């Protein structure tokens, strides 16, 4: 499994990629996607798809509703990532 620092960086990059003009260093783990970063429902869906693609996991819609901060997403990825993420990608 990738290191926590790598997972955190990749999640922040996915989040910042959806914010026009956003930079990774401006994103805190405590930021709320909606309240602090201004995500709308389309942004949430895009982020869900990006996280699923990057980490080889599936996030149920009901689960995504509970992932309200950047830190929640990081925690979810850590808990649900396959032991060998490349195994999922290579098939």
What structural domains and CATH numbers belong to the chain?
Answer: 4-90 (1.10.1200.10)
Q: Clarify whether 71 is annotated catalytic.
A: no
Supply the pLDDT for residue 22. Answer: 61
The predicted structure's pLDDT at residue 21: 59
pLDDT exceeds cutoff 90 at 43: yes
For residue 78, count CB atoms less than 10 angstroms from its CB and return exposed for 0-12, middle for 13-18, buried for 19 or more. middle
DSSP run (H or E) holding 76 = helix 70-80
Task: Give the gyration radius of the chain's Cα atoms.
Answer: 12
Pick the most confident of 12-26, 36-50, 74-88: 36-50
Write out pLDDT tens, residues 67-76: 999 999 999 9
pLDDT the model gives residue 90: 45
Question: Looking at residue 2, what is its pLDDT?
Answer: 66
Among residues 36, 40, 43, 61, the one annotated as catalytic is 40
- On the question of pLDDT at 23 being above 80, the answer is no
């Amino acid at each position: 499994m990738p290191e926590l620092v790598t997972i955190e960086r990749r999640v922040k990059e996915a989040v910042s990629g959806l914010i026009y003009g956003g930079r990774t260093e401006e994103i805190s783990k405590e930021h709320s996607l909606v309240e602090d970063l201004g995500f709308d429902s389309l942004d949430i869906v895009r982020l869900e798809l990006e996280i699923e693609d990057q980490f080889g996991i599936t996030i149920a819609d009901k689960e995504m509703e509970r992932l309200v901060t950047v830190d929640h997403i990081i925690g979810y990825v850590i808990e649900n990532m396959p032991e060998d993420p490349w195994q999922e990608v290579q098939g």
